[in-house]
Amino acid sequence: MSKHVVLGGFGHVGSHIVKKLTERGCEVISVSRSPHNARYPLEQTITGDITEEGFLSNLVNNQDKVYLCCAPSYQNWDTDFLPMIERISQELSDKHIVLVYADNLYMYGPQTGTFCENTSPSTLGPKGQIRFEAYHSLVEKKGNWNIVTCRAADFYGPGVHQALMGELVFKSALEGKSAIYLGSLSSVHSFTYIEDFAQAMITLAEDKRAYGGIWHVPMRCQSVLKPSLTKYLNKWVLNQKSKTYQVGKRQH
Burial 211-235 (b: 16+ CB within 10 A, else e): eeebbbbebeeeebebeebbebbee
Quote the DSSP letter at residue 107. G
pLDDT of amino acid 28: 95
- The phi, psi pair for 103, rounded to 5°, reads -115, 170
| Cβ contact 197:13 at 8 Å | yes
Phi, psi of 203 (to 5 degrees): -60, -45
**Which distant-in-sequence residues (6+ apart) come within 8 Å of 141 by Cβ?**
89, 93
User: What DSSP character marks residue 60?
Assistant: -
pTM exceeding 0.85? yes
pLDDT at position 216 is 94
End-to-end CA distance of the chain: 42
Per 3-state DSSP, the chain is made up of helix, strand and coil in percentages (nearest 5) of 35, 20, 45
At 83-113, the pLDDT tens digits run 999 999 999 999 999 999 999 999 998 887 7
157: left (phi over 0), alpha (psi -120 to 50) or beta: left
- At 251 the pLDDT is 45
Residue 224: per-residue pLDDT? 52
Distance of CA 136 to the CA centre of its chain: 17
Are 100 and 201 in contact by the 8 Å Cβ rule? The answer is yes
pLDDT at res. 162: 83
pLDDT of residue 245: 47
- Which segments in the chain show pLDDT lower than 50? 245-248, 251-252
Which of 32, 91, 36, 35 is CA-nearest to residue 64?
A: 91
